[in-house]
Every structure is written in structure tokens, then in C-alpha cells.
Amino acid sequence: MRDAGLLWCAIMVGMISVWYIIALIRENAFQNGYWKGRAAGFESHRRITNIAKQSDEVFDYEKH
């Protein structure tokens, strides 16, 4: 009976450890995807604003 209890405890510790490792991997994957998406959105916004700024500039014939 004592051996069965120790086996049960070892199985529970193993299952909790596996669950914790999976949770860490999932959180890390989410954070990587989140920040890559933020960077892509910022880059897209920057390109759009630069294009808008360049198209709003008036050509100065005296300089060119």
C-alpha cells in the first residue's frame, strides 16, 4: 500500500512538472508572436505615415 502511494505521488509530481513545462512553452510562444505582431504593425504604420508625409510635401522648384 505504501508503494502504491509513493507511486501515485511520483506520477502526480511528474504530471504537474509536464503541465508546468507545457504552460511555459505556450506562454513563451504567445509572447513571441505578440511582440512580432506589434513590430509588424508599427512598421506598417511607419511606412504609411512616411508615404503620407512625402505626398503632402510641395515640390520646391527653386531648390531643384
- pLDDT tens for 30-40 read 999 999 999 99
How many domains does the chain divide into?
Answer: 1
**Does the residue 6 lie in any domain?**
no
The angle formed by the CA atoms of residues 41, 44 and 46, to the nearest 5 degrees, is 110
Report d(CA 56, CA 50) in Å as an integer.
10
Report d(CA 48, CA 22) in Å as an integer.
39
pLDDT class of 1 with cuts at 50, 70, 90:
confident
What integer pLDDT is reported at residue 59 of this predicted model? 67
**Does the residue 64 lie in any domain?**
no
Residues in the chain: 64
**Does the residue 16 lie in any domain?**
no
Report d(CA 25, CA 18) in Å as an integer.
11
**Does the residue 1 lie in any domain?**
no
- Domain span at 32: 22-56
What integer pLDDT is reported at residue 50 of this predicted model? 87
